[in-house]
Amino acid sequence: MARGISVVPADSGKNLSRFIDFQYDLYRDSEYFVPPLRMDVGKVLNPGKNAFFEHGKIQPLIAVDANDVVVGRIAAIRNGMHLQTHSDATGFFGFFECVEDPDVATALLTAVDEWHVDNGLRAVRGPTNPTINDTSGLLVDGFDRCPSILMPYNKPYYEEYLLNHGYERAMTMWAYYVHKKYVETERLERGVKVVKHRNPNITIRTMDMSRFNEDAAEVLEIFNEAWSENWGHVPMTDNEFKQLAAEMKQVLDPGLVLILEDDGVPFAFSITLPNLNEALIKVKNGRLLPLGLPKILFQAKVVGIRECRTALMGIRPSYRGRGLDALLNLATIENGQRLGYSGCEMSWVLDTNPRLLSALKQLNAVVDKEYAMFEKALN
């Protein structure tokens, strides 16, 4: 390795702790980075606590210099559900962070290449942390703003390092934002009136927290069907979704989780989350104790969460082309304003989804951030 840089496994013990710690050290002075809770990162990397390991592998790696100081980290990832769905021999990388040194990046990315070749894979894509259904993508524009909940933030030089290592952009994704003062709903409201007149059996409701598990199961079924043709989609297993639902249950606002039904049968949904990052950014070390939890609770309960993010939306293919998604869009706006939210991010939106991009522009939403996924063929 160049200049005494070594890349070593970080599966457990001291090295796993160093893997987790490095991100907090790297962004200690960042005004915009929102630190994840350490306990959450630890769960993601723990085979006993993350359902992903039922079909996948994660190999955490750290780069250390000649003085045994951590200068970077990355994880090589084998996603069994992706391989089962796409049969494309593609692996993934995630959790990528490094100091501003191309030699460190090269050492980490080369180690990931070698791991994938050893595991019989022919391409690498990322970043996914660890799957495309988790926090994923690389921020490539919008570094002077904080990310919204469950969205990534990273150093500006990462894109250059990936391109120099042979990666190419595989997909561009956008985060749109609209403030309540500027949202335009007149055209949407007219469309909703027409849709309701043509579809009298269609009703919309918010999530019923008293039957949370039943509603969550319906959402999973719709999600896996609705997203099946989306670029890079990987269906969630039942256990993965149960895990995600349990985590979301702690932060969601029921008034922003909407379900469309046809004679009482769910066929579409949208999930908009309070932007808890407004509270998490107060806890720079990612630790709940002794001071982290009081800071989060003060921001969330006393100051209040001002903004939200529409993170997921899905409609069964048999119901598409009828404008029914307009019902979800208008109800999200109306409920969000009634609940006191001042603005909303919609992310991320694939560059290959012109219909949704057009709908967002009609609402007067503007591009706030640009993200990308990168891919490299292996020799």
Q: Mean pLDDT, 10 residues at a time, over the chain (379 residues)?
A: 84 95 96 93 96 98 98 99 98 99 98 98 98 97 97 99 99 97 95 96 96 93 93 94 88 94 97 93 69 51 79 96 96 97 97 93 96 97
Asked whether residue 159 falls in the same domain as residue 203, the answer is: no
For residue 369, the cross-strand partners are: 175
Give the burial class of 198: count Cβ atoms within 10 A of its Cβ; 0-12 exposed, 13-18 middle, 19 or more buried: exposed
- Tell me the CATH number at 129: 3.40.630.30
Look at residues 154, 174, 194 and tell me which one is the last residue of a structural domain.
174
Predicted pLDDT of residue 289: 44
Asked whether residue 266 falls in the same domain as residue 347, the answer is: yes
Asked whether residue 51 falls in the same domain as residue 189, the answer is: no
Question: What are the residues whose beta carbons fall under 8 Å from the beta carbon of 211, sequence distance 6 or more?
Answer: none
- Residue for token pair 């457990």: 12
Look at residues 139, 156, 174 and tell me which one is the last residue of a structural domain.
174
Asked whether residue 150 falls in the same domain as residue 184, the answer is: no
Predicted pLDDT of residue 210: 93
Asked whether residue 123 falls in the same domain as residue 157, the answer is: yes
Predicted pLDDT of residue 12: 85
Asked whether residue 188 falls in the same domain as residue 166, the answer is: no
By the 8 A CB rule, do 317 and 351 touch?
no
What's the CA gap between 220 and 2, in Å, rounded? 47
User: Is 306 domain-assigned?
Assistant: yes
Whole-angstrom CA distances from 86 to 79, 82, 250, 314, 377 are 11, 6, 33, 21, 16
User: Is 155 domain-assigned?
Assistant: yes
Q: How far is CA 256 from the centre of its chain?
A: 18
User: Is 263 domain-assigned?
Assistant: yes
Asked whether residue 149 falls in the same domain as residue 190, the answer is: no
User: Is 379 domain-assigned?
Assistant: no
By the 8 A CB rule, do 168 and 56 touch?
no
Asked whether residue 124 falls in the same domain as residue 207, the answer is: no
Look at residues 174, 202, 233 and tell me which one is the last residue of a structural domain.
174
Predicted pLDDT of residue 298: 46
Structural domains counted in the chain? 2
Domain span including residue 16: 2-174
Question: What are the residues whose beta carbons fall under 8 Å from the beta carbon of 298, sequence distance 6 or more?
Answer: none
User: Is 377 domain-assigned?
Assistant: no
User: Is 376 domain-assigned?
Assistant: no
Predicted pLDDT of residue 301: 56
Alpha-carbon Rg of the chain, whole angstroms? 21
CA dihedral for 319, 323, 325, 328, sign (positive or negative): negative
C-beta atoms surrounding 69 within 10 Å: 12
Predicted pLDDT of residue 299: 54
Please, where are the H alpha helices in 99-157?
A: 102-118
